[in-house]
Each structure stands twice: as C-alpha cells, then as structure tokens.
Amino acid sequence: MAEEEKKPKKIVPKKYPMPEQDPKERVHNFNEVPIGQDAQTAIAEAQRCLQCKRGPNRKVCMDGCPVEIDIPRFIKQVQLGEFAEAIRIIRENQNLPAVCGRVCPYENQCEGFCIVGKKNEPVGIGRLERFLADWERREQKHGKVEVPPPTGKKVAVVGGGPAGLTVAGDLAKLGHKVTVFEALQYCGGVLIYGIPEFRLPKEIVRAEVDYLRRMGVEIHNDYVIGKLETVDELLKSYDAVFVGTGAGLPDWTNLKGENLNGIMSANEFLTRVNLMKAFKFPEYDTPIRVGDRVVTIGGGNVAMDCARTSLRLGCKESVILYRRSDAELPARREEIHHAKDEGVRFELLAAPLEFIGDAQGNVQQVKAIRMQLGEPDASGRRRPVKIPGSEFLIDAQTVLIAIGQSPNPLVPMTTPDLKTTKEGTIAVDENGRTSKMGVFAGGDIASGAATVILAMGDGKRAAKAMHKFITGDRTWPAPEVFEKLSCEM
C-alpha cells in the first residue's frame, strides 16, 4: 500500500480557483481570460500534492506527461517556495512551459493520472506550471542560457511549431547546432496563428522562442521548405533533418455555396485575427469583419476559438453548429465552459446542408438539418444520422468552417522517397524515423491534428533518436517497416 494512504493527510478537496476575467467584460477584449494565481495560492496548491512514488504497477502524474516532466520533484520545490529551482526542473524536459501551462489538455494528461484526483480534484499541475513560467518571465530569470560546447553537428528543423521547437531545444541542449526553417514571419505554428490571444498571449510564445534563440538556435523565418529548398537539399548541408510542418490544411464541407463571401475556414479567420492582428485593424492593416450572427461549424477547440473570437469582434450572436450532442463535443471541457459563460449558443445535433447567399454573393443563411445519434461508428462514438424532414434555416452573415485540418502536403510532395499514409501523414516509427535515412518527423504532420503536448512528446522522442543518429549510431529501420505503416494507417 502506498505510504500516503497509510498516514492519511487532510487534503483540500478542490483545486484552488483560477481567477478569471468576468465573462461580461472579457467578451469585449482580447486580454487573457484566466488571470493567473499568486505565489501563496501556488504554494497552497502544491501542498495538496502527496509526492507519490512511481512504480511498475502504479501510475502517477508523470505517466501522463508526454515530455516526462518530473512533476513530484518540481512540486516539492514549490511547496518550499523555491520557484527558481522548480522551473529549472521543468525546463529539463519542457521547452515551452508557459505555453503548456495554458493550453495543455492536462485533465487527460498528467492530472488524469494524479492520485489525489481519484477521490478529489487532482493537483492543479498545469496551473503550477503556468505560474512558474510566468514567475520566471516576470523575474527575468532567463539570463544567458548555458549550453555545452559545440559538437560540430548540424541539424535542420522544418517548421517552427511545438514539435519543431521541442526538437530544436533538446538538440541545442546537447550542443548541436540547430537551424529552424519556418514558413511564416514568426515561429510558434498554431500557437501563433491559431490559438487566440485571450487563451495564449503571443508575447508569451515570443518569449519562449526567444529563450531558444538564447540557447544558440538559429531561426530563419519566411522560409518555405519545398519551395526555397527541398529536404534533399537540406540533407546535403545538415547531419539530420526534422520535419514538423503540422496539419495546416483546412478541411471543407464541400457543400453547395461554400465559396460565398462571408464563409471562411477557421484557419483564415484565426490567421487574420491572431497572426496578422486584424482585431487591431486599422492599427494593423489586415482586415476582418463579422456580421451580426456568426455560425461556426464544428465542435472542437478550433470551433470554440472561432466562436469566442467572433464575440470579441462584435457579433451580436455566436452560434456553434455541431452534429452530435454535448457529451461528444471534442473540445476541452474548460473551453466549452468558457464559451458558454461568454454566451456562445450551442445548436447541437444539427448539420449544415447548404449555404444560401444573396445576389451579391454574400452568405445569408445556412440550411441545416436535425440529427440523432445512431449506432457507434469506428471511433466508438455514436454516429449522427439525419432526421428526415427536419431541415431548418438559420441566418448567418459569417460562417466559419472548423471541421478539421489535414497534413501540410508541401514537404511530402517535394520529397519523393518520403512515405506517407492514406491520410497524408508522414509515416514514422516510434522514434520519429521516416522512410528516408536522416529524416525524422513528428507532431501533427505525423499524427494528424492532435495536441501541443503530443507534438512535443513526438519532438522529444525524435530528438533522442536524432542525437543517437548524428553521434554515430546510423541504424535505420528496413523499408518494409514504412511500407507497412503507409498501408495500415
């Protein structure tokens, strides 16, 4: 039996609350919704931790963290008020703590495994991580980042999203020379162009990227691999290449009227608002406009971000149209609550059939149909089926399509011997090795659209394998492995 269960300790049953901006206020601004906890609260939260020991038959918080942060060890330091030491421990494994402390779906990750969470609310690990990263940034504890002497090995990272940045950080920590090639003007991937300012301030992403620069990582922005240089060309000047180009290709409904004005992909909408700062138009030049009613199609994190952003851009009503029921909404619960608190209306068990426009080609209405849940499908979720005769019209001057993203095709298209799967993802083994020797891949380009922390976990494993590869162990899986992967998936 575990020690903490032998000598029961009185546990505060709930997490200490996270102060938030009032919903009525926050729908009028783009400031961050959760305000952050103070040092006292963080210490009190850390006191809820039992400092569990991990065992072969005993899963604890760390088993849920894809980048294997030593959670009990850092929490111990928070209990002692040793914040500098605590963040140092986190940074051993985690290159973007301020980001993950905010957007990690920790309820399914570390906190989902927390022992305290069995009978009470789990320890607020994500919040502690956020607190420490913010504390570090505020206290200017970054300073110069120590890295070992150069090994003389050079690595190219394609794509500056969470996967690529993790690889960059981990290999720089080992003394390798890392160059990141990023297509956009800033690094961060979805963290910069997708996730809105009110969930993840862009200044934080920049600070994290800056930290990598201080470790000696070289970053080339505005650099599209596949157009400027191919992966094959990179292989001539680098010892290994990591591809982390993400799943940035928007999926469409392919319904009638989808090209009407006022209908755009979640990517276009969020890129205009976040990357190009259209919410500050005309101070920034890129325009964005929403009509009185915005209908967002989809039910994931991306859809929640679209619906909540629309409110902040001044629409009168923001509606989510989702074909299954509340229980199946794929977004994080926290995001769904935030959306509801802010007044987003959920039109559930409904799917679009057609988009109807006016003579000028502007969308006016969505024709939709009611759905009911039938038999479970391949994903185990009950399949939505149309209820005949239940068509209805909903007015919409803006429609946002947030039904998914597919892998970016450019790198696979321009790298002939890189095997891909049916879904268009790059086929990789468990170490991120691809069918092309010296080329590794991870994150959404290898897994399909997933999460920040899974992309980082991929990056971590790939970095380890890359280190082995460039320091002499050049074993590589047989081609059959990838033949199989590319058919199976």
Partner 1 sequence: MYEIVKAEKLTPDVIKLEIKAPHIARKAKAGQFIMVTPTEHGERVPLTMADFSPEKGTITIAALEVGKTTRELGRMKAGDQLFSLVGPLGLPTHLKSYGNVVSIGGGIGLALMYPIVRAFKQSGNRTINIIGARNEKLLMYEKEIEAISDEFFICTDDGSKGHHGFVSDILKKLIAENKKIDLVYAVGPIIMMKVIANITKPYNLPTIVSLNPIMVDGTGMCGSCRVIVGGETKFGCVDGPEFDGHKVDFDNLTARNKRYIPEEQNALKRFMEAK
Ligand X SMILES: Cc1cc2nc3c(=O)[nH]c(=O)nc-3n(C[C@H](O)[C@H](O)[C@H](O)COP(=O)(O)OP(=O)(O)OC[C@H]3O[C@@H](n4cnc5c(N)ncnc54)[C@H](O)[C@@H]3O)c2cc1C
Q: Determine the Cα–Cα distance for residues 212 and 165; give it in Å rounded to an integer.
A: 8
Cβ at position 444, least distance to ligand X in Å:
4
Residue 106 touching ligand SF4 (CB under 6 A): yes
- Residue ranges in 399-418 that form contacts with partner 1 under rule CB under 8 A: 408-410
Pull the structure tokens for residue 345. 């209306």
Q: Determine the Cα–Cα distance for residues 41 and 9; give it in Å rounded to an integer.
A: 19
Residue selected from 12, 39, 84, 228 as contacting partner 1 according to rule CB under 8 A: 228
Residue 309 touching partner 1 (CB under 8 A): no
Residue selected from 310, 408, 415, 425 as contacting ligand X according to rule CB under 6 A: 408
Exposure string of 223-256, with b = 16+ CB inside 10 Å and e = fewer, is bebbeebbbeebbeebbbbbbbbbbbbbbebebe
Which positions from 83 to 102 touch ligand SF4 by CB under 6 A, shown as an x/- string?
-----------x-----x--
Which residue matches tokens 């629409």?
315
Residue selected from 27, 104, 295, 462 as contacting ligand SF4 according to rule CB under 6 A: 104
Q: Determine the Cα–Cα distance for residues 166 and 164; give it in Å rounded to an integer.
A: 5
Q: Determine the Cα–Cα distance for residues 273 and 393; give it in Å rounded to an integer.
A: 28
Which residue matches tokens 């940035």?
248
> What is the layout of strands, in order, in the sheet containing 263-265?
263-265, 398-401, 293-297, 317-321, 345-347
Q: What is the 3-state secondary structure (H, E, C) of 371-383?
A: EEEEEECCCCCEE
- The interaxial angle of helices 452-470 and 162-173, nearest 10 deg, is 40
Pull the structure tokens for residue 130. 């956020």
Residue selected from 33, 60, 295, 446 as contacting ligand SF4 according to rule CB under 6 A: 60
Residue selected from 50, 89, 163, 263 as contacting ligand X according to rule CB under 6 A: 163
Find residue 219's DSSP bridge partners.
180
Residue selected from 27, 50, 247, 344 as contacting ligand SF4 according to rule CB under 6 A: 50
Residue 265 touching partner 1 (CB under 8 A): yes
116 contacts which partner out of ligand SF4, partner 1, ligand X, none, CB within 5 to 8 A by kind? ligand SF4
Stretch that binds ligand X, among 11-19, 58-66, 239-247, 353-361 (CB under 6 A): 239-247
Residue 134 touching ligand X (CB under 6 A): no
Length of the chain as a residue count: 489
Cβ at position 434, least distance to partner 1 in Å:
21
Stretch that binds ligand X, among 55-63, 137-145, 385-393, 438-446 (CB under 6 A): 438-446
Which positions from 416 to 455 touch ligand SF4 by CB under 6 A, shown as an x/- string?
-------------------------------------x--
Residue 382 touching partner 1 (CB under 8 A): no
Cβ nearer to ligand SF4, comparing 44 with 260: 44
Cβ at position 76, least distance to ligand SF4 in Å:
9
SS3 at position 430: coil
**In angstroms, how far is the first alpha carbon of the chain from the final one?**
41
Contact 217, 172 (CB under 8 A): yes
What CA–CA distances, in Å, run from 77 to 15, 39, 111, 131? 18, 12, 18, 13
SS3 breakdown of the chain: % helix, strand, coil, rounded to 5?
Answer: 35, 20, 45
**Number of neighbours of residue 202 by Cβ within 10 angstroms:** 18
Residue selected from 70, 85, 218, 229 as contacting partner 1 according to rule CB under 8 A: 229
Cβ nearer to partner 1, comparing 73 with 220: 220
Cβ at position 33, least distance to partner 1 in Å:
25
- Residue ranges in 331-370 that form contacts with partner 1 under rule CB under 8 A: 360-361
Cβ at position 266, least distance to ligand X in Å:
6
* CA pseudo-torsion sign 286, 289, 294, 295: negative
Give the footprint of partner 1 on this chain (CB under 8 A): 183-185, 221-224, 227-229, 248-250, 252, 254, 258-259, 261-262, 264-265, 267-268, 271-272, 276-277, 281-287, 289, 360-361, 408-410
Footprint on this chain of ligand SF4 (rule: CB under 6 A): 49-52, 60-61, 64-65, 67, 69, 71-72, 75, 94, 100, 104, 106, 109-110, 114-116, 123, 125-126, 129, 453
Residues that bind ligand X (CB under 6 A): 103-105, 158-164, 181-184, 189-190, 194-195, 224-226, 244-246, 248, 270, 301-302, 305, 408, 410-411, 443-445, 449-453, 455
